[in-house]
Amino acid sequence: MEMTLAEPRVDYLNVRHTVASWLLTKDHKRIGIMYLVVVSLAFFVGGLFASIIRMELATPAGDLVSSDTYNKLFTMHGVAMVFFVLIPAVPAILGNFVLPLMLGAKDVAFPKINLLSWYVFVIGFLFTLYAMVTGGVDTGWTFYTPYSSRASSSNVMMTGIGVFITGFSSILTGLNFMVTIHRMRAPGLTWFRLPLFVWAIYSTSLVQVLGTPVIAITVLALAVERGLHFGIFDPALGGDPVLFQHLFWFYSHPAVYIMILPPMGAISEVLACFSRKNIFGYSFVAFSSLAIAIFGFLVWAHHLFIAGISVYSALVFSFLTYAVAIPSAVKTFNWTATLYKGAIWLKAPMIWAICFLGLFLVGGLTGLFTAALGVDVHIHDTYFVVAHFHFIMVGGAIMGYFAGLHYWWPKMTGRMYSDAAAKTAAVIVFVGFNLTFGPQFILGYLGMPRRYHMYPEEFQVLNVLSSAGASILAVGYVLVAIYLLVSLFKGEKAGDNPWHATGLEWTTQSPPLPHNFDVQPVVTEGAYEYSKREIKVV
C-alpha cells in the first residue's frame, strides 16, 4: 500500500488532539501510551528512592537518613517498582499496544474495561503516592504481619488500599487479554501461528487472573485486622502470622512471572527479527511460557524456608523450585540456538536483548542457590537474595522491557530514535547494572543482611562499588529518557516496517490507523518466516 507523501495520513495519534479524546479513549493503542506515561513516572519515583538508599549505603555509618526513614525508603522503592512498574510495564504498555495488532484485531475484546483498568491503576497509584508523601510506609513491600497489622505506625492502610485497587487493574487487563486472544484472532491465525509474545502474554494473563485475587483478599484481611482490629493473623488470639506469608507469596511469587514472562515474549520477537531466522523450537518456547505460569504457582513456600514450615513441605517446595528452572532453561537454550548461524543484525533492540540474555542467565542460576534448602539458610534475607532478584527483575524484566520498547517504538510513535545513543545507553546500563548488583552477591554471601542502613566497615569497599554502579545505571536510564523524548520531536520518520520484521503489527502503517487495519488481515503462515524474506541489513 503505497501512500503519496503529500496526503496527510490519519493515524491513532493525529485523529483527534483534545485532552478529552485521550482521557475517554477506548483505543488500546492510546491506552498503552497512557500506561507508558504513568509507569515511567512510577519508575522515576522508585528510582529516586533507590538512589537515596545507595547514597546511604556508601558509608558504613547511618549518616544520611535515620533508620526509620531508611525502612520507609526501601519499602516505598519496592512498592513503587513491583506494583507500579514491573507488573504493568510490558503487559499494560507493550501488550496493550501490540497485542490486538498482532492478532489482526481492531481492539481488545472489552475496550471500555481496558480504559477502566487504566483509571483503576491511576487511582491505586494516587493512593500509594499519597501514602508516600504523607509519611510513607515502613513494613517492607511484603507487609508481613503482625508488624504491619499491629505495630507499625506508618501509612500501611493507605498503601494497602493503593495496592488492593491496583490489583483490580491487573486482573481486568489479564482477563481482557485472555478473551482477546481466544476470540479476536484474524482468520488463519491459529494458535501455533501466534507470535511468541502472544503466548507469553497469555501465560501472564493466566497468572494475573488466578493469582491477583489472592493478594487482594490477603491485603483486605490485613486491612480488617489493622482497621477494625479483627483477628485473622493475630498470634495474641491464636492466629498464625505465617498464614499471611503463605497467602502473600501465593500471589507474590507468581507475580515474579507476571514480571518476567512478557519481557521474555518481547525477547523472542527481537531475537528472531535481528537474527533473521525463525525462532528455534517454537512450540517449546510457547509451552515453556505456560509451564512457567503453572509451575510458578507451586513454589511459593521457598520464601518461607526459615519461617518454621515443616521440613517435608520445604523439601517438596525446594524440588518444585528446581523444576521451574527447566522451562526457563528451555527458553534460554532456544534463544541461543536462534542466534546460532543467524544473520545477526546489531541494532539497538538487539543489543538490549543480548544484555537481557546474559543478565537473566545469572539471575536464573543464582535462583537455584536460593532454592537449595541448606544454602538458603545461609543466604536468606541477605544481599545475595537482593542481588538475585534484581538480576531477574531489572536485568531480566527491565532489560526485556527496553528491548521491546526499542523494537516497537517506531511503530508506536512513527519515529526513529538515535541508534548510536540507544546502543550506548544499553552498554552503560549493562555495565552499571553489573557493578551495582555483582558486588551484592559477595556481600550477601559474606553475611550482610538486607534492610539495614548500617554495616560493619569491612563491607564498605563492595558497597562503594555497588553505589558507584548505581550512579552509572542512573546515567544510562536518564540517557534513554532523553533520546526517546528527542525522537518524539526530532526523530526521522520510521516507515511502516523499519526492521523488515514479520508479524501483523508491521503490516499496518506507523503510527497505526485508529482502527489498526484498512483491510482485515488473513494469515497464511507462521510468525517468523524470515527465511522467505529478503535480508536487508543496513
Partner 1 sequence: MSDAAAIPADAHAHGHHPDLQHHFDSLEQQHEAATLGMWLFLVTEVLFFGGLFMAYLLYRVWYPEAWAAGSEELSIRLGGFNTVVLIGSSLTMAMAVRSAQTGYRRATVGWLLGTMALGLTFLVVKFFEYKDKFTHHHVPGYDFHIEGAHAGLAGPMEIFFSLYFTMTGLHALHMIIGFGIMSVITWMAYRGRFSTQWSTPVEMSGLYWHFVDIVWIFLFPLLYLVDRTGQ
Which residues are at the interface with partner 1 (CB under 8 A)? Answer: 1, 104-111, 171, 175-176, 178-179, 182-184, 186-187, 209-214, 216-218, 220-221, 224-225, 228-232, 234, 236-240, 243, 246-247, 502-504, 507, 515, 517-527, 529
User: CA–CA distance from 384 to each of 245, 327, 437, 447 (Å)?
Assistant: 21, 23, 9, 9
**Nearest distance in Å: CB 172, partner 1:** 9
208: number of Cβ within 10 Å: 29
Nearer to partner 1 (CB atom), residue 477 or residue 499: 499
Nearer to partner 1 (CB atom), residue 251 or residue 389: 251
What is the Cα–Cα distance from 527 to 507, expressed in whole angstroms?
13
What is the Cα–Cα distance from 299 to 109, expressed in whole angstroms?
32
* CB half-sphere exposure, 50, CA atoms < 13 A: 26
**Nearest distance in Å: CB 348, partner 1:** 23
**Nearest distance in Å: CB 225, partner 1:** 8
Say whether the peptide bond before residue 511 is cis (omega within 30 degrees of 0): yes
Q: What is the DSSP letter of 516?
A: B
What is the Cα–Cα distance from 536 to 271, expressed in whole angstroms?
16
Contact, 273 vs 499, CB < 8 A? Answer: yes
Contact, 252 vs 218, CB < 8 A? Answer: no
Nearer to partner 1 (CB atom), residue 458 or residue 529: 529
Nearer to partner 1 (CB atom), residue 169 or residue 370: 169
**Nearest distance in Å: CB 269, partner 1:** 12
User: CA–CA distance from 94 to each of 36, 100, 334, 361, 416 (Å)?
Assistant: 9, 11, 23, 23, 17
**Nearest distance in Å: CB 214, partner 1:** 5
Nearer to partner 1 (CB atom), residue 270 or residue 397: 270
3: number of Cβ within 10 Å: 10
Nearer to partner 1 (CB atom), residue 397 or residue 504: 504
**Nearest distance in Å: CB 235, partner 1:** 10
Nearer to partner 1 (CB atom), residue 217 or residue 482: 217
Nearest to 260 by CA among 415, 421, 143, 87: 87
282: number of Cβ within 10 Å: 22
**Nearest distance in Å: CB 100, partner 1:** 8
